[in-house]
Each structure stands twice: as C-alpha cells, then as structure tokens.
Amino acid sequence: MKHKIIIGSLLAVMVPFLVAGCERNRGVFEDKINALGTFAQISISGVPAEQARQAALMVEEELLELDKVGYTFKLEGELQQLNEALAHRKSMTVSDGLLEVIIEASKLFSLSGGLFNPAAGQLTAFWEFHCDKDDCEVSPYPSEVQKLVDQRVAKIITRPPSMDDLIIKGNKISSRNRQVKLEFGDMIRGLALDKGIQRLREIGVVNAMIDIGGSVRTIGTRGDHDWWIGLLDADGKDLIGSIENIDDQAVVAVRASDKSFDKSGSVYRHIVDPRTGMPASAIQSVVVMHENAMIANASAVTILIAGIKDWKAVADRMGAHKILLITKDGNIYTSLAMENIIHWKQGIEHQYLVP
C-alpha cells in the first residue's frame, strides 16, 4: 500500500523545531559549527549556560576529529592519504580513529549485502560537479564526455570495489583492488551523532539534541516536553507531518535528487548504486528512526539504493523497522512501526505497508 501526497510531489526533509533566540531564553543552549561537510547544531536543555557551552565544545572536538580522520578529502587529510596509498597498491598505517570508521563500515557493508559500499567512492565521484547556475541539466556532461564517463564506470564495475577488498592487519590497511576509494560521508555523520551523544552522557548531560545536516540524535527532553522533528516538503516550508517522543533515538534522512546542492549552491551529488555505477533513481528520500544513528544512516542509504521492490527485505536485514520513504512520483510508503509514531498534517492521505 502507498501514501499519496495531496499537496503535490514532495521530498521529505527533517527539521528540529528550535528557534535560537527564543529557546535560549527558555533554558535551551545552542551552538552551531561547520563540520562533516555541513552545519551541525548542538542543543542542550536544563544546564547552566557556561556548563552547556563547555559541553558543546567537547562535542565539537569529537565532530572535528571525525571530520579530520574520515570525512575530508583535503590533500592533507588522512583519508585522502589512505586512498592515494590504496590506488598505488601500497599499505598505510592509520590512526585508531580512522581504523574504527573502517571497521564499522565493513560491518555495515556486510549487513547490507554490499549495497552500502563506502569502498565505491570512485563511482560517487563521477556524479559530483560544479555548476555555473542553479538550473543544471540532469546530465552534467556533453554527450561525448558522458560516453567516456560511462566507459570508465563500466571498467570499474567489472571488478566492483568493496569493503571485502581491504586487508586489515592491526592499524595497517591495504587493498586487493586498486579501484577501492573510501568515502564515509553518509555513515560518518551517523557515527558522529552517536559519539556526540555518548560524550554528553559521559559528562552528565541528560537532555540534548545534535543535528548534523538534518539528521538528529536525542537524549532526554527539551524542557517540559519531548524533542520532536518536523517532516517538511522539498521547499522546507510546508509540514507533511512530525515525529514526537524520540528520547534516546536517532532520526536520519537521506535523499537523492537530480539536483542536490550544498550550501554554496555548487555541488551535484547522487547516491550511486554500486552494482551499476549509476545514480539510484526510483526513491527520492528515506527517513529511518533507530537507536543507533550510524545504523540508521547506513540503512537509509541502503533502502534508497535497493528500490521500491526490495527495500523491506533490506531494512529487515539491517534491523531498521521505523521507515518512511518517498518515491520520485510523490508516493509515500511507511512501515507499520513508523506509521504509528507520525502525526500527519491534515489533508495528506496516509496508509502503511504491513511488515
């Protein structure tokens, strides 16, 4: 069964309902930083301002450390150096932080049956480019260049790079396949959410929310009521529903669209199906709620790649049960567990897929 959005074809986007000036006066401290390729917001409730500020600084250090070891592709970045080594059939000794990311990514790769594949960074790179204007065409390349790209993609997927190609001996990493290029952008944001909340717990904070690029992880409450997340349309203006009562949970949104620009309005990125080297096409967005943000993030990516026919089997395999997805033609699908916790906006039809 499926949902049809009456107000048009929408793309689900999440937003935590926090207004900086007003909420600060009500005992919610907020701090914003630029990390992991996007903006992150840390919100702490019920703690004196100076204590909350110090707690936020500790979380910021955690996020920036993950940015340094496992996200950035700057030439001096550790991940970039590792990818260079692997491309030249060399090994490299990595930090404990990057080793942890690699090990977690390998586990998620196995759970997903290979659909969640951080080793396929070369394929993702083909679908990033810079535009002079916001109205880029669906294909970024002239036909003759597109042909060369298609040939290159075909060459890569004849021996698909995978996390199983990595050889891990202590902190020393090497690869059996030169096509491996690690990219952790999706899962590392989830890992950052989990680590950030864990750090807050360790220092005694019991009421907080961390938002990284629209994906959130919470503990406790926001004052005298629960944290809650709004589900918005593609323009970020109209609510289609909300999720409440999310104590100690993560709510992660992943989307793939023909034009997905970063804050500078210049980067075009698709989520790529590692089996074909082409962008995932049928599903526009996925929202997953789970007690582990990293699993939620990886599950959302895997469900998006799996497509409308196979998403349920993939979700079960990864242990994800609270799911909302929207197809490119505007249909909404939810699992029963997610349907039971969404408050829909009046005027939007909603049914659910029975598990």
The reported pTM is 0.81
Angle, in degrees to the nearest 10, between helices 96-111 and 49-70: 80
Between 288 and 213, residue with greater pLDDT? 288
Categorize the per-residue pLDDT at 270 as very low, low, confident or very high, splitting at 50, 70 and 90.
Answer: low
- The pLDDT of residue 26 is above 80: no
Q: Give the separation between CA 326 and CA 285, rounded to whole angstroms.
A: 5
DSSP-derived 3-state class of residue 105: helix
Based on the number of CB atoms within 10 Å of its own CB, is 44 exposed (0-12), middle (13-18) or buried (19 or more)?
A: buried
* Confidence bin at 158 (pLDDT 50/70/90): low
Q: Percentage of the chain with pLDDT > 70?
A: 74
Per-residue pLDDT for 159 more than 50? yes
Residue 260 has pLDDT above 90, yes or no: no
Inform me whether the pLDDT recorded for 10 exceeds 60: no
* Residues in CB range of 30: below 8 A, 6 or more apart: 18, 20, 23, 24, 41, 42, 43, 44
Secondary structure of residue 3 in the 3-state scheme: strand
Confidence of residue 198 (pLDDT cuts 50, 70, 90): very high
